[in-house]
Chain A
């Protein structure tokens, strides 16, 4: 359980305390991850199934490593496409997997709400690894974790999210989590990429990059997907990178000295981020990847029946792990 939640589906439903429960536990998990012997028995005998209906190497690997460090058995089930074309419904697929008695189902799907639909039909815990343009809760949590590492408390901090907000589940999860932790969120992008009514969720909307990034403590640069060009949301990546992309000069001229840069990956180098910025000192992109494993360990630990209370089981498990 994470607070009241048996599943991890949407940060919109999480309270500040529930978010902090995961983030605090992830601190201990990161410590485990950095040990020479990265194995604790906390989830020994538990099974985690990764059910991915969309291609994703990074998130799936991150969940898989998180499960394995905690000694859970991890199984990857990659469905080639959506349930409709496959001939078996999502609910049937989930029930079949459920019959194999997993403890946690990690689901990525192209349809918003799909993990919630599965959760209604199975007894085990369900973790969303991203559903359509709805949410990507573990990404939102790992972004908050990374920001807290760099900035301390997020209360009163300003975070700017730049890019295709309308198609971004990362933007939504970040927005929900950051606002709950007290941060101010600015959204920036071409008007075609800012979804209707987003300002009702507590963000301010900007269309000029300079206005959006000046005074910000952190930037989240979203990936621009090439298929959006024909959509047609933008005329092309060339213009996008000129107007909304971040290069070294804009960073030097407009950003506060301590402002850090996040990106959920994979980066389109030269589109939303110039290489020298992606690889520069402000970038915390690789920290995000490492922290992703720690945060996912915390999520799996809490949902797969780890002893409640931050770090308790992990501490004990850590001892046992070292003894082996």
Chain B
């Protein structure tokens, strides 16, 4: 492979540098050498014809579950990274709820070693807030930071103890690690399995009120004021949570937030329309139309900084069950761009804002190097065909798991090439699917 890559004629959208127009992106020695309207191409350079395509920084996902170690039948670091680059993601942050939990350097190092061996997306481990994510004792943040963790989370579980959460926010400041928090009050959740509203009432499924998320967001915002810690709210799903984050930012608190493609695109009524399909069961649950509208607005106005997939692979063992008994979560890396592009095209938010929320927005939150096409940056690039139509066929996912609510759905927008550090790690030969 040539060391020089010319991606020519595409619409380059790089919100970090304010670029949006037809440019050529020149990659040399693994870095962005130039982004310019006219560049002379040397004979030994590989040319990529990107006419009609978007050329963006590789996407950055702050929230994925790669299941390794412990649940390799659902996903491995390698298959997860393969799914990532197929979806245009060049950096993914791996949540610590593996088995064992990533609460020590050995697990962090294993994830990093597997990612290096795969040589696909960059994988940034997230360490646990508490030992075993059990919410009792602080994990060793110094060791986790030194081993390469970029943030802390007990994702999948809330930190129920306000006292522990306070100390975690304080202690993490010594290592400059943000806490990315899964907000739910387990007492209010009870045995709930979907959003509480008319749809849950009709289906006779136990509801999870929006307030279950909101009371915890409000608690943690108060704790940020107390501690000066850095809080990142994972998968925001309710109108009240968006409002709370917006108001906190206005007051200058160090808070950021992400939203998933599914909470932007789907709602509780879709659970009913699916006939209890467990591919529509996730946590937080799909919310009301008002909540979805608030999330879209929050993304558009910058209250929500990033789109994160919460890619959560599960096998048929966990999913082919009664709705009450099925596991929460869906895969999302390979559908995120198309799902969000459809929303942008429908006017929910702008196309540049969409790219920002997938690139520089998330990169900034965890202080990751990617998310920009600035000269000298690592050459992490996605080439996207916004017009390519395809039908979601989970059997063709690079992910090991098939749990997607968009199964069979016709979509527009695909990643046709992904470059990580100047290397082409994903390339779709024309006409695939």
* Partner-B contacts on A (CB < 8 A): 12, 82-84, 89-91, 109-114, 116-117, 131-135, 166, 169, 172, 195-198, 200-201
Task: State whether A197 touches B204 (Cβ < 8 A).
Answer: no
6 A-B pairs whose Cβ atoms sit less than 8 Å apart in the complex: A83-B325, A89-B320, A116-B276, A196-B200, A197-B199, A197-B201
Q: Does B322 contact A (CB under 8 A)?
A: yes
Task: State whether B205 touches A134 (Cβ < 8 A).
Answer: yes
Residues of B within 8 A of A110 (CB): 324
Residues of B within 8 A of A197 (CB): 197-199, 201
Residues of B within 8 A of A109 (CB): 322
Question: For the complex, what is the distance from the CA of A134 to the CA of B323, rounded to whole Å?
Answer: 12
Within 8 A of A (CB), among B222-250: none
Question: For the complex, what is the distance from the CA of A111 to the CA of B191, rounded to whole Å?
Answer: 12
Residues of A within 8 A of B207 (CB): 195-196
- Would you give the 0/1 interface string for B307-324, flagging 1 where the beta carbon is closer than 8 Å to chain A? 000000000000011111
Within 8 A of A (CB), among B178-215: 196-207, 209
Question: For the complex, what is the distance from the CA of A131 to the CA of B322, rounded to whole Å?
Answer: 11
Known: A83-B325, A116-B275. A200 touches B198 (CB 8 A): yes
Residues of B within 8 A of A131 (CB): 204
Q: In the assembled complex, how far is the CB of residue B307 from the closest CB belonging to chain A, in whole angstroms?
A: 29
Q: A111-B325, A131-B204, A201-B201 are in contact. List 9 more A-B contacts (CB 8 A).
A: A12-B202, A83-B325, A109-B322, A111-B322, A111-B324, A112-B324, A134-B203, A197-B197, A198-B201
Q: Which 10 A-B pairs have the closest CB atoms?
A: A197-B198, A134-B204, A113-B276, A133-B204, A111-B322, A112-B204, A111-B324, A195-B201, A200-B198, A114-B322
Question: For the complex, what is the distance from the CA of A262 to the CA of B321, rounded to whole Å?
Answer: 35
Residues of B within 8 A of A133 (CB): 204-206
Partner pick for A113 among B197, B199, B203, B209, CB 8 A cutoff: B203
Residues of A within 8 A of B201 (CB): 166, 195-198, 201
Residues of B within 8 A of A91 (CB): 320-321
Least CB separation from A9: chain B residue: B275
Main DSSP-derived SS at the B contact region: loop
Least CB separation from B195: chain A residue: A196
Task: State whether A196 touches B198 (Cβ < 8 A).
Answer: yes
Question: For the complex, what is the distance from the CA of A91 to the CA of B196, rounded to whole Å?
Answer: 27
Known: A195-B207, A197-B197. A113 touches B202 (CB 8 A): no
Q: In the assembled complex, how far is the CB of residue A230 from the closest CB belonging to chain B, in whole angstroms?
A: 12
* Partner-A contacts on B (CB < 8 A): 196-207, 209, 275-276, 320-325
Question: For the complex, what is the distance from the CA of A198 to the CA of B200, rounded to whole Å?
Answer: 10
Residues of A within 8 A of B203 (CB): 112-113, 134
Task: State whether A132 touches B200 (Cβ < 8 A).
Answer: no
Residues of B within 8 A of A89 (CB): 320-321
Q: In the assembled complex, how far is the CB of residue A323 from the closest CB belonging to chain B, in whole angstroms?
A: 45
Residues of A within 8 A of B197 (CB): 196-197
Question: For the complex, what is the distance from the CA of A113 to the CA of B322, rounded to whole Å?
Answer: 7
Residues of A within 8 A of B276 (CB): 112-113, 116-117
Question: For the complex, what is the distance from the CA of A114 to the CA of B322, rounded to whole Å?
Answer: 5
Question: For the complex, what is the distance from the CA of A196 to the CA of B205, rounded to whole Å?
Answer: 11
Question: For the complex, what is the distance from the CA of A172 to the CA of B198, rounded to whole Å?
Answer: 12
Residues of B within 8 A of A83 (CB): 321-322, 325
Question: For the complex, what is the distance from the CA of A90 to the CA of B319, rounded to whole Å?
Answer: 12
Partner pick for B202 among A114, A117, A166, A172, CB 8 A cutoff: A172
Q: In the assembled complex, how far is the CB of residue A184 from the closest CB belonging to chain B, in whole angstroms?
A: 19
Task: State whether A84 touches B205 (Cβ < 8 A).
Answer: no
Question: For the complex, what is the distance from the CA of A89 to the CA of B205, rounded to whole Å?
Answer: 19
Task: State whether A90 touches B321 (Cβ < 8 A).
Answer: yes
Residues of A within 8 A of B202 (CB): 12, 172, 201
Least CB separation from B325: chain A residue: A84
Question: For the complex, what is the distance from the CA of A195 to the CA of B321, rounded to whole Å?
Answer: 25
Q: In the assembled complex, how far is the CB of residue B184 from the closest CB belonging to chain A, in whole angstroms?
A: 17
Residues of B within 8 A of A111 (CB): 322-325
Q: In the assembled complex, how far is the CB of residue A148 from the closest CB belonging to chain B, in whole angstroms?
A: 25
Least CB separation from A117: chain B residue: B322
Q: In the assembled complex, how far is the CB of residue B231 from the closest CB belonging to chain A, in whole angstroms?
A: 29
Q: In the assembled complex, how far is the CB of residue B192 from the closest CB belonging to chain A, in whole angstroms?
A: 11
Partner pick for B200 among A82, A84, A116, A195, CB 8 A cutoff: A195
Least CB separation from A92: chain B residue: B320
Question: For the complex, what is the distance from the CA of A264 to the CA of B196, rounded to whole Å?
Answer: 26
Question: For the complex, what is the distance from the CA of A110 to the CA of B196, rounded to whole Å?
Answer: 19
| Most chain A CB within a 10 A radius of its CB, from B200, B203, B205 | B203
Task: State whether B320 touches A113 (Cβ < 8 A).
Answer: no
Question: For the complex, what is the distance from the CA of A84 to the CA of B318, rounded to whole Å?
Answer: 10
Residues of A within 8 A of B323 (CB): 111-113, 117
Question: For the complex, what is the distance from the CA of A83 to the CA of B317, rounded to whole Å?
Answer: 12
Question: For the complex, what is the distance from the CA of A134 to the CA of B201, rounded to whole Å?
Answer: 8
Task: State whether B322 touches A90 (Cβ < 8 A).
Answer: yes
Least CB separation from A197: chain B residue: B198
Least CB separation from A114: chain B residue: B322
Question: For the complex, what is the distance from the CA of A292 to the CA of B202, rounded to whole Å?
Answer: 24
Least CB separation from A173: chain B residue: B204
Least CB separation from A136: chain B residue: B204
Question: For the complex, what is the distance from the CA of A201 to the CA of B198, rounded to whole Å?
Answer: 8
Question: For the complex, what is the distance from the CA of A201 to the CA of B272, rounded to whole Å?
Answer: 14
Residues of A within 8 A of B199 (CB): 197
